[in-house]
Chain A
Amino acid sequence: MKSHSISGYIALSLLLLVSIHWARSNSHINQSPPPHHITWTENQMYWHKALAGAVPAIAADLAVLNIFNIYAQSQKEDISNRSLWWPQLYTEIRRGQAMDPYFRDIYRLTEGLLAFEAGKMEQAVEILAMSEQRLNSSDPLLAASFIAFQELKDSNLAISLAKRASAKPDATNLAIGFSSSLIQKKNGCKLALDFLKSRLDGMPPKYHKGIFLRIERLKKKDECKGLI
């Protein structure tokens, strides 16, 4: 009798384990794109800060992980549907920047994904320019200047950003050369190409696609064909 009840329990446990395994493998719900009308407001920032309390930096880290997730989800969609994810991408980037304005990964993802992948150039320039108050690095400002010049065709903004980038303590020859070329109105395809290639450093290969697309587009331009 006792051995019967033990074997009954074992059989029931095995049955339950099989059901759990089956249920887990079949309960995956495909994430649908978020509502298109998501927008970032200052009020959201205050809520997030209140919730994050003493650990706002970890909220910024979680925002970065969300950005990775949004990007991965968007890549599963057709090209025409990917734009549905971009408002949420922008919201997460703003959240990360508001929670930890010193976080360099946020600025790198702004440039790599929001600008070159999602094509939200104006928003990207706005966020990258926010780094000026917090970082000693010229990197985000230089990227903002490049986007303003190359994509937004706003030379005045580009020159202003490039000058601010050159004034940073870590300004490299690239930053100084870029800003001087802009000031002298020497628009060079090679310069733009060198700049884009330099942006690949430090960015994981799976996020290189947007930058490669820009390089290819640049190479196809008539004025660049003889120079590159």
Chain B
Amino acid sequence: MSKSLSLLLFSMKEISNQRIYQTLLAILIIIPWLLLIPTSLFMMDLGKVFMDMLFTFLHLWLLIYIFFLAAPLLARDIEMGTCNMFLTLPMSRAEYLWGRYAGVVATILPILLAYLISAVLAFEFAERTWPGYVLSGSGVQFTYGVLLILLPYLALTAVLFFIASTATGLSETTVFLFSVWLLCWSIPPVLGAMQEQNVAAKNPPWIESILQFINQLLPDISSSQISLHLAHHIPLENMAVIAYCIEHLAYSSLIMIVAVLLFQRRDLG
């Protein structure tokens, strides 16, 4: 356990010392304030528009983090044999993978916190500047949304570890991860459309079955209804939120267990 904790701290230090991480941190402090400029173009639902933009940026920078910071770190470890340095400590392969995963996830928290604080302060400013157009308590709704939207990305990070545990290098990891993300992004809305009667009537049922099957295998990153409801201050059902949290945490754990099993059987020579 202490070895995994040491690796967690080491991973945090390793990622946070990179210039791209520090640049991302600085940009995310400024971004909420810059987004107030396009927000002012709208007419009535200014608070909603501001929150939409903030949620979109959240998705964007979480993807940047996973693709440009987490994926190269892991691929480098395995491709260049850096992981052998840890594994000879001695540290089991399971401890190594869990430690790295915890480190990658924990390093999101400082930038997430900086983004949240800056956004909440920008909401306070917007509420005072456009009273009536930005509902009070928007900062709280946004914080709630951020915490919920983060969960699917923990699952996507677990998918990264699953891919990297068998992939030969960075290119392979990135291509497979991108494909998974693309499917995760587009399949849920397509499935939603296929529930409509007029669409269902036009398509053979086996197409929907195949899409449903693929969707069950992938992490569900479609948090569209969460962001849509919170941006309009429409309360979320408690049971649905609990189920959503359990789904993502269980999915992340399951994929990490499979990744560990695959990594333990891998020839690192």
Taken together as a complex, chains A and B put the C-alpha atoms of A153 and B228 apart, in Å, by: 36
Pick the interface stretch among B15-23, B52-60, B107-115, B242-250: B52-60
How many pairs of A and B residues are in contact by the CB < 8 Å rule? 84
CB of B228 within 8 A of CB of A58, answer no
Which B residue sits closest to A68, measured CB to CB? B41
Q: B136 at the A/B interface (Cβ < 8 Å)?
A: no
CB of A53 within 8 A of CB of B185, answer yes
Q: How large is the interface on B (under 10, 10 to 19, 20 to 34, 35 or more residues)?
A: 20 to 34
Pick the interface stretch among A29-37, A43-51, A174-182, A218-226: A43-51
Taken together as a complex, chains A and B put the C-alpha atoms of A225 and B15 apart, in Å, by: 75
Which B residue sits closest to A101, measured CB to CB? B228
* Chain B 140-195 interface residues, beta-carbon cutoff 8 Å to A: 149, 185-186, 188-190, 192-193
Residues in B whose Cβ lies below 8 Å from that of A16? none
Which A residue sits closest to B152, measured CB to CB? A54
| Interface of chain B, main secondary structure | helix
Q: A122 at the A/B interface (Cβ < 8 Å)?
A: no
CB of A105 within 8 A of CB of B42, answer yes
Q: Closest CB of chain A to B143's CB: distance in Å? A: 17
Given contacts A105-B42, A202-B44, A100 and B228 within 8 Å (CB-CB): yes
Q: B126 at the A/B interface (Cβ < 8 Å)?
A: no
* Chain B 216-260 interface residues, beta-carbon cutoff 8 Å to A: 221-224, 227-228, 231-232, 234
Given contacts A57-B48, A65-B41, A204-B43, A51 and B186 within 8 Å (CB-CB): yes
Q: How large is the interface on A (under 10, 10 to 19, 20 to 34, 35 or more residues)?
A: 20 to 34
Q: Closest CB of chain A to B221's CB: distance in Å? A: 6
CB of A54 within 8 A of CB of B59, answer yes
Contact with B along A82-112 (1 / 0, CB 8 A): 0000000000000000001011110011000
Taken together as a complex, chains A and B put the C-alpha atoms of A64 and B196 apart, in Å, by: 26
Residues in B whose Cβ lies below 8 Å from that of A64? 42
Residues in A whose Cβ lies below 8 Å from that of B43? 105, 108-109, 202-204
Taken together as a complex, chains A and B put the C-alpha atoms of A35 and B257 apart, in Å, by: 55
Q: A42 at the A/B interface (Cβ < 8 Å)?
A: yes
Taken together as a complex, chains A and B put the C-alpha atoms of A109 and B41 apart, in Å, by: 13
CB of A49 within 8 A of CB of B45, answer no
Q: B89 at the A/B interface (Cβ < 8 Å)?
A: no
Contact with A along B39-51 (1 / 0, CB 8 A): 0011111001100
B contact residues vs A (CB 8 Å cutoff): 41-45, 48-49, 52-53, 55-56, 59, 149, 185-186, 188-190, 192-193, 196, 198-199, 221-224, 227-228, 231-232, 234
Q: A50-B186, A64-B42, A102-B232 given. 15 additional CB < 8 A pairs?
A: A42-B196, A46-B193, A46-B196, A49-B190, A50-B189, A50-B193, A51-B186, A55-B224, A56-B228, A58-B52, A58-B55, A61-B49, A104-B45, A105-B45, A202-B43
13 inter-chain pairs at a CB distance below 8 angstroms, sorted by A residue, are: A46-B199, A50-B186, A52-B224, A54-B224, A55-B59, A57-B224, A58-B53, A58-B55, A61-B49, A65-B41, A105-B43, A109-B43, A202-B43
